[in-house]
Amino acid sequence: MTVDSRLPHDSQPRSRLRRLINRIEIDRATFFSLLLRVWQLLAGAVTVYFIAEHFSPELQGFYYTFASLMALQTFFELGLNIVIVNVASHEWAKLSLDESGAIRGDDRARSRLISLGRLIAGWYAIAAMLFAIGVGIGGYVFLAQQAAGIEWIGPWCAITVLSGGLLWLLPFNALLEGCGQNAIVNRFRLLQAVTASLGVWICISAGLELWAPVAAVAARVMWDVVLVAVRFRRFFRPFLAPTSTTARIEWTREIWPLQWRLAVQGCVGYFSYSLMTPVLFHYHGPAVAGQMGMTWAIVTAIQAAGLAWVQTRVPRFGVLIARRDFAELDRVFRRLTLVSLQILLVVSAGVWLAAVHSKDWFPEIAARFLSPSATAVLLAGVLLYHVPHCMSMYMRAHKRDPMLFTNVLSSMAIGACVFYGGREFAGLGAAIGYAVAVGMVVLPCMVFVWVGFRKTRS
């Protein structure tokens, strides 16, 4: 009797499912990350219904402009989050967690990891305070331009304070990711997303209007506190101990050379991802800004889902680089990039078809989005940007960043095209500006840098 004949009746379908999962490169970290993106897409559709049912077009514009202004945290975080993941992954190659959840392994690597954690705690505490004050005041001045009849001041003050707390907790998530805890971190992010969505729906249904995004941020803060202070309390205990570290991460030599490059790119990167809604808010009013914000939220959720395959493997890239196993590194990277691009293409096509038919199915909700043509252009831009995103994660995993000029040029090009197109032609113009800049500047420049990096990598 063969082995297969002794298997349970449903084992073969399970085996086929497992082979499919392996073929499309889904591990536990990617699985939870994809669940998060799927939830964001499904919950986003429900949120769209609630907003269309309970919010005026102007109130919808404030809702999404809040989110765009919160993205200004990149000017205060200054790229350190990405550096943390890459630096920690190189130290984690010699470390592990024991059964109790404590750090074990090489003493020098452990000491350097602890020094990194202490450094980032202080850095982000200052950044969070400056963010809450600076964005709070600046956002107040900006939003007051279109504030007639909208109760927004209380929610705005609350969301800036809570977002400051969320910013302070951000590096601890990055540290855990760099230490190979992606699956658990992504599971908590899924819990954050579910709780945040429920909070938004309850607040909107209760007539609390712009307190809905405040509830979402509060839910994220709560789960981050649970992750750091409860789930990984033994992991972080040495970071709080008064003992001195014998080996330290040298900020000026090991962090700053990469961080300043990421800081510049992060600041100008705001123009790539978050400028559209404020531009339309200023020149065309909250209603048009709301259409862009709602459409862009769906499009970026698709983009994030596609990047999950590569992003969750960045710590693995760091380990392979530390071991100088470049052949395996390249094999894994090529496979993940191809798989994720194919899936992103299929999902984008499905979203566009839904946009085309939504006017017949749900005309009131469809009116809250950009037109199908503008949506198609935005999706095309995201598809063109996918491979450059994957390439940048690969190169940064080497603790190097040869993309400074390219990313600055790309972000400024996107910002200029979005600003001009959005000012002159509203949502469709902003979408065309984005896609044209990505196709004509971002993609060719990043491929050029990528080829050069591969030739000079040692």
Which DSSP symbol is given to 313?
T
195 confidence band (pLDDT: 50, 70, 90): very high
DSSP string, 358-398: HHHH-HHHHTTS--HHHHHHHHHHHHHHHHHHHHHHHHHTT
Residue 443 has a pLDDT of 94
Residue range 157-169, pLDDT digits in tens: 999 999 999 999 9
Give the pLDDT confidence of 413-444 residue by residue, as tens digits. Answer: 999 999 999 999 999 999 999 999 999 999 99
Residue with tokens 């350190």: 80
The radius of gyration of the chain's CA atoms, rounded to the nearest angstrom, is 23
CA distance 385 to 397: 19
pLDDT at 162: 96
CA end-to-end distance (rounded Å), the chain:
53
Residue 20: pLDDT over 70: no
Residue 3 scores a pLDDT above 60: no
Closest CA to 211 of 265, 158, 264: 158
Residues 250/116, Cβ–Cβ less than 8 Å: no
**CA distances for 200 relative to 150, 159, 219, 222, 436, angstroms:** 18, 13, 10, 15, 35
Span 50-64, mean pLDDT?
A: 87
DSSP string, 80-136: HHHHHHHHHHHHHTTEEE-TTS-EEE-HHHHHHHHHHHHHHHHHHHHHHHHHHHHHH
State both tokens at 226: 């649970």
- Of 396, 394, 397, 392, give the one whose Cα is nearest residue 331: 394
Which of these, 270, 395, 413, lies nearest to 333 by C-alpha position? 395
| pLDDT on residue 265 | 77
Nearest to 403 by CA among 437, 451, 435: 451
Tokens of 164: 């400051």
Distance, in Å, from the CA atom of 113 to the CA atom of 179, rounded to the nearest integer, reads 9
Question: Does position 63 have pLDDT exceeding 70, yes or no?
Answer: yes
Average pLDDT over residues 142-149: 78
Concatenated DSSP letters for 33-57? HHHHHHHHHHHHHHHHHHHHHH--H
| pLDDT on residue 14 | 53
Residue range 252-289, pLDDT digits in tens: 888 887 788 878 877 887 888 788 888 998 899 888 98
pLDDT tens digit string along 308-354? 778 777 777 887 888 888 888 888 888 889 988 998 999 899 989 98
Range from 56-65, 253-262, 290-299 carrying the lowest mean pLDDT: 253-262
pLDDT higher than threshold 60 for residue 231: yes
Q: d(Cα 49, Cα 369) in Å, to the nearest integer? A: 12
Phi-psi region for residue 218, left (φ > 0), alpha (ψ -120 to 50) or beta?
alpha
Over range 245-252, report the average pLDDT: 77
168 touches 221 (CB < 8 A): no
Query: Phi and psi for 245 in degrees, rounded to 5?
Result: -95, 135
CA distance 359 to 362: 6
Indicate the angle between helix axes 57-70 and 276-284, nearest 10 degrees: 140
Asked whether the predicted pLDDT for residue 119 surpasses 80, the reply is yes
